[in-house]
Amino acid sequence: MGIFHLFRDHHREQLCKEPFPLAWSQIIDRNVACYRCLHSDERTRLEDLIKVFISEKHFEGCAGMLITDEVKVTIAAQACLLLLNISHDYYERLVSVLVYPQSFNFEQEERCQSGIVSVTNLPVAGLSSSTGTVVLSWPDTVCGARNPDDGMNVVFHEFAHQLDQLDDAMNGAPILYSRSMYRDWAQVLGSEYRRLQEDVAAGTPSLISAYGATRPAEFFAVVTELFFEKPIDLQREHPALYEEFRQYYRQDPAARLQECATHR
């Protein structure tokens, strides 16, 4: 292990020993609704992850957006929830989080069969780049965090892409823990992805957003949103799919949500 890694690991250990700022806890309580259902040990682990994430990632405001602790903590809390129980190095390829004060335009190029290239500007709420950047709309970030059961969360979506591409391919198959998991993952997600495409083509309603049918990477990100936001529905309607995500993220949000509901 090199000097840099030794220094980095020591710095992380020191950060985790520091108390979690009260102001940050208040931000999470106000903005990140799913935090309320975490067990006390999960909250402690999440807080440690947040401290390291904020220390190591660069946040930058765009189009006049001011970066405050509220922005950093709200984003970090959601991004780090995905890391809670998995093997990780804090989204090691991620360098910067860019935040806009509203949805922003993404320039998409399409080439038709004749060779003519058309350019379309599409308003989007988030983007994930393989070059170390996640781009987010702040209003969409807050809306997703404060509404824990609508099935839509732009931070979960874009950071699922970051996990997906850690093996150099954004293809809907993140780094798993065993060869047998890859086999089961391909079988279940392949079947569910084709089923969604058929439902979309036939106009059949589905719990899973039609956007998930565009490509496997989007399917993984869209189902990640559902796994954390509508886990009971996902488990009921797509039990095999839920089980694959439960094994990957090493969390059971359906059970956690049901337990949380009984204690309210």
Residue 141 shares a structural domain with residue 176 = no
Does residue 258 share a domain with residue 140? no
Examine the domain organization and report whether 190 and 263 are in the same domain: yes
Residues 254 and 184 in one domain: yes
> What is the domain-level CATH number for residue 192?
3.40.390.10
| Residue 156 domain-assigned (yes or no) | no
Q: Please say which residue of 77, 112, 147 terminates a domain.
A: 147
What confidence score (pLDDT) does residue 24 get? Answer: 98
User: What is the pTM for the complete model shown?
Assistant: 0.92
Residue 7 has a pLDDT of: 81
The crossing angle, in degrees rounded to 10, of helices 138-146 and 154-164 is 100
Q: Report the C-alpha gap between 183 and 1 in whole angstroms.
A: 33
List the chain pLDDT tens, one digit each, 264 residues.
Answer: 678 778 888 889 999 999 999 999 999 999 999 999 999 999 999 999 999 999 999 999 999 999 999 999 999 999 999 999 998 999 999 999 999 999 888 765 555 566 554 445 677 899 999 889 999 999 999 999 999 889 999 999 999 999 999 998 899 999 999 999 999 999 999 999 999 999 999 999 999 999 999 999 999 999 999 999 999 999 999 999 999 999 999 999 999 999 988 876
Same domain? For 141 and 177 the reply is no
**Phi then psi dihedrals of residue 162, to 5 deg:** -60, -40
CATH code at position 84: 1.10.472.150
Domain presence at residue 1: yes
194 and 134 part of one domain = no
The one-letter code for the residue type at 135 is V
Domain finish residue from 147, 162, 187:
147
Do 126 and 218 share a domain, yes or no? Answer: no
Instruction: Output the six-digit token pair for 11.
Output: 């710095």
The amino acid present at 33, given as its one-letter code, is A
Domain count, the chain: 2
Range of the domain at 203: 171-264
In a domain, 260, yes or no: yes
Same domain for 96 and 189 = no
Give the tens place of pLDDT for each residue, 217-253. Answer: 999 999 999 999 999 999 999 999 999 999 999 999 9
Exposure of 64 in the CB half-sphere (CA atoms within 13 A): 2
Can you give the pLDDT at residue 118?
44
139 with 154: CB under 8 angstroms?
Answer: no
Distance CA 198, CA 190 (A): 12
Do residue 40 and residue 129 come from a single domain?
yes
